[in-house]
Structures are given as structure tokens and as C-alpha cells.
């Protein structure tokens, strides 16, 4: 990249989730003067995966690469500019199996990195640490990571977008910000077509479009979108106070997880980290799994019955007192899955000027405070060889059916294609 003029070049970032916004902010901080973020809706985009009340923040990884990155992120959540959005409640991982292989791997890596955690063999031992889990009747074994918790996703994204705006990022939303396709010619990318008005021209486009990505460029060999169930329950102030000091809990047998109620609003959120659901839609003659483009996918509040029941079952095991309270809202959260859970942050191999930053695979949000720095390092070709290798976009465009994420963290039922009837309800 030439030193002169390179910071003046217009850069169009498509997607205002954690990948797009953290990158836009970092680009501005590095002196880029013409950064525009496009999205269908204002951040926090209501049907994106960087929204709503909470995300787990933890560095429990079986892979040292992500553990290191996540430790840096947790450190930043605790003491950096986003600390008001972080709650260090502790994180409990439980499994039905004694000496669960995955948990043992997590613990051995924590141990080798000198990180504190605490084993528990019985529910009684767990309740001694967290008296607010006193109503649990289920048998629990697992471990506690005290240096983990959750982040207010919508709050942190709102603050991130505001910071971008202060530093000069332009935002375009609504039909002008709704990208319909990429514009390319023999020289590479030339801009994007949008749902209303003339195209936005730029020879530098960063696609941070998460679960929508396969609509714009065929990356089906590298990423595939899966929908995961989420439910919200309104607690009374008394019910919330009764469990306010609980940790984040994940059941590594079922994939079910639950957060403490949100302070002040007393909303309880539960979800499942599993293989999720596929849809089947036609885009430019290709069949892909993806959320819709022109509607708010979170509006319908629809969940497949089996997923709804799994969330209820999970709640009955961890918080039996409130397990049958009605949902105030449900939604499918769209993951952008990759085969090993690696992000995809790379130049497109054949379309010059097109840079891809996607592939959160259900674990990206926690990296919000540090992600933009590393994406921009990749964009500027400054990242470590290890990171480039990890996050490279594999070549090729053949697919052999929907790709499944096998990063080891997913539990619960196998991935399932939603029936036509179910898809009609989305």
C-alpha cells in the first residue's frame, strides 16, 4: 500500500455488527478518512447476532489461539472503554458426564496457562459458591471460571457505533444502506448496489455481513448460517433479586445456557449453543441457508417447537422456580458457522479490493474490544502469520451440502433443516 493517499481512499464496510463496527472504528483510529458503514437498520441491528441483552464473555477455549485472544478481550472488558457493559459474574460449565472430555481439555489448558478455576463434584458444592442457585435439584458436576461473565450486547454495540460516528464514520441505513449485490468488473470490486438510489462506488469493500454473506458472494464452502433459539422471560423484581447473584451457566451436555437477570429490567435470557437450524432459500440460482434480507428476522418471535421445549427443559433444570413463566419474546439468533469455528478475515481470492470479515461461529461477540485491531491488521497485511493462516478464506467454491461447525463446543441435537411449514413462520 502506498503511503500517500492510502488513507483517503473510500472504504465501504457492509454490516454494522461487531465485525463491521470494530473494524470501522479501528480504521478511523489508524487515520483512514473516508469510512462508510452500511446496514439495513441502525446498530444494534435487531436481527443481527450483535444485539439484545447479553453475550457470554469467557476465555475457556480448548484452542490456545482463541484462549489468548479471549484473555486479552476479557482484560479489556474489565478495564477498557467498554467496562460499563461487562458483568464479571463467573461462568459455570456443567456436564452430565463425569470427566467430560471437552471440560477436561478446557481445564488442562487453563491450568497450563496458570488460570484459576474451581472444580465442583456435586450440586451442594456449587451452591456453596453460588447460594442463589439454591433451587437446583439436578445433579451438577463441572467447574467455575471466576474471571468470566457476560456483556450487554446492545449497550456495547450502541457505544461502539457512537464512537465510530464521533471519529467520522458515515452511516447509511434503510433502503440506501441495504446492499442488494456487489459491483465488480475486471479490475475487481467497484462498489455495491443498494435497494434505493444510485450505487455506492468504492474499490475497497469490506464484507462484514455475517449470516447474510452467502447472498453476496458464494462462500458456501467456508461459511454457513445456522439459526439458534433464544428466549426471554420477564421476572418480577423479587424473582430477579432471588437469583441476581447467579453466574452464567452452560450445560455442556445439552448446549443450554442461561444468564443472570439483567439489572434494572429483570429480564432472564436463555439460549442454546448447538448445531442449530438451516433454512433453504434460492439466491441467484444458488441454494443457501440465510436469514431474510428485507425484513426484521427477529420480529416474528417464532421458534421451532422442539427448540422451545429444549429451552424450557434447560430452565427446569437450572431455575425451576421460574421455568414455566411465559416468554416475553423469542427469536432465532443467526450464527455464521465455519468448519472449525475459525473466523474468516481475508482478501477474496479473485475479487480484488473485496475483503471478508465474517464467521463469528457463535463465539465472536466477546472479542468486541480487540477484534477491530486484528481485522485491520489483516486488512493492512500486518497480522501475524499464525493469525492469517487461522482466518484465511479457503479457496474453492464447491459445496457438499451444508457445512457443520465442529469446533467441539456445540451440544444438543444435530443440525436440522427447517420444514417448509416452519420456514413459512420465520
Ligand X SMILES: *[C@@H]1O[C@H](CO)[C@@H](O)[C@H](O)[C@H]1NC(C)=O
Binding site for ligand X (CB under 6 A): 10, 34, 94, 96, 138, 140, 201, 251, 253-254, 317-318, 396-398
Q: Closest approach of Cβ 84 to ligand X, in Å?
A: 31
Q: b/e map of 248-287 (b: 16 or more CB within 10 Å)?
A: bbbbbebbbbbbbbbeeebbbbbbbbbbbbbbebeeeeee
Nearer to ligand X among residue 344 and residue 371 (C-beta):
344
Nearer to ligand X among residue 225 and residue 254 (C-beta):
254
Q: Closest approach of Cβ 348 to ligand X, in Å?
A: 13
CA dihedral for 378, 58, 330, 272, sign (positive or negative): positive
Q: Closest approach of Cβ 9 to ligand X, in Å?
A: 8
Q: CA-to-CA distance for 272 and 309, rounded, in angstroms?
A: 11
Q: CA-to-CA distance for 59 and 147, rounded, in angstroms?
A: 8
Q: Closest approach of Cβ 81 to ligand X, in Å?
A: 26
Q: Closest approach of Cβ 334 to ligand X, in Å?
A: 24
Nearer to ligand X among residue 86 and residue 140 (C-beta):
140
Nearer to ligand X among residue 255 and residue 372 (C-beta):
255
Nearer to ligand X among residue 191 and residue 369 (C-beta):
191
Nearer to ligand X among residue 44 and residue 412 (C-beta):
412
What grid cell was written down for 416? 436440522
Q: Closest approach of Cβ 94 to ligand X, in Å?
A: 5
Amino acid at each position: 500500500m502506498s503511503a500517500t493517499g492510502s488513507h483517503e481512499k473510500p472504504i465501504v464496510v457492509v454490516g454494522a455488527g461487531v465485525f463491521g463496527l470494530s473494524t470501522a472504528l479501528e480504521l478511523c483510529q489508524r487515520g483512514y478518512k473516508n469510512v462508510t458503514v452500511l446496514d439495513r437498520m441502525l446498530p444494534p441491528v435487531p436481527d443481527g447476532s450483535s444485539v439484545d441483552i447479553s453475550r457470554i464473555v469467557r476465555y475457556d477455549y480448548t484452542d490456545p489461539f482463541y484462549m489468548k485472544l479471549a484473555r486479552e478481550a476479557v482484560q479489556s472488558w474489565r478495564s477498557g472503554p467498554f467496562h460499563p457493559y461487562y458483568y464479571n459474574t463467573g461462568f459455570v460449565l456443567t456436564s452430565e458426564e463425569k470427566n467430560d472430555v471437552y471440560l477436561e481439555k478446557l481445564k488442562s489448558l487453563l491450568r497450563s496457562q496458570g488460570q484459576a478455576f474451581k472444580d465442583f463434584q456435586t450440586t451442594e458444592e456449587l451452591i456453596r459458591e453460588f447460594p442463589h442457585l439454591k433451587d437446583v435439584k439436578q445433579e451438577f458436576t463441572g467447574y467455575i471460571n471466576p474471571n468470566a461473565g457476560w456483556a450487554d450486547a446492545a449497550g456495547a454495540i450502541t457505544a461502539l457505533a457512537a464512537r465510530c460516528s464521533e471519529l467520522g464514520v458515515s452511516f447509511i441505513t434503510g433502503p440506501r444502506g441495504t446492499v442488494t449485490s456487489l459491483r465488480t468488473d475486471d479490475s475487481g470490486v467497484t462498489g455495491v448496489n443498494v435497494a434505493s438510489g444510485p450505487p455506492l462506488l468504492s474499490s475497497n469493500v469490506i464484507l462484514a455481513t455475517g449470516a447474510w454473506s452467502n447472498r453476496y458472494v458464494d462462500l458456501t464452502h467456508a461459511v454457513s448460517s445456522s439459526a439458534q433459539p433464544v428466549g426471554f422471560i420477564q421476572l418480577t423484581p423479587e424473582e430477579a433479586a432471588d437469583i441476581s447473584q447467579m453466574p452464567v451457566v452452560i450445560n455442556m451436555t445439552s448446549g443450554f445456557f442461561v444468564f443472570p437477570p439483567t439489572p434494572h429490567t429483570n429480564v432472564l435470557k436463555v439460549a442454546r449453543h448447538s448445531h442449530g437450524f438451516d433454512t433453504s432459500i434460492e439466491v441467484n440460482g444458488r441454494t443457501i441457508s440465510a436469514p431474510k434480507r428485507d425484513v426484521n428476522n427477529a420480529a416474528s418471535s417464532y421458534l421451532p417447537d422442539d427448540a422451545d421445549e429444549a429451552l424450557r427443559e434447560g430452565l427446569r433444570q437450572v431455575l425451576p422456580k421460574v421455568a414455566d413463566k411465559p416468554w416475553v419474546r423469542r427469536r432465532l439468533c443467526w450464527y455464521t458457522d465455519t468448519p472449525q469455528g475459525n473466523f474468516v478475515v481475508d482478501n477474496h481470492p479473485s475479487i480484488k479490493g473485496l475483503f471478508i470479515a465474517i464467521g463469528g461461529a457463535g463465539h465472536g461477540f466477546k472479542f468486541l474490544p480487540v477484534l477491530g485491531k486484528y481485522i485491520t491488521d489483516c486488512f493492512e497485511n500486518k497480522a501475524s502469520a499464525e493469525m492469517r493462516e487461522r482466518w484465511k478464506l479457503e479457496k474453492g467454491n464447491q459445496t457438499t451440502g451444508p457445512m457443520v461447525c465442529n469446533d467441539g463446543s456445540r451440544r444438543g441435537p444435530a443440525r436440522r433443516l427447517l420444514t417448509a411449514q416452519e420456514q413459512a413462520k420465520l
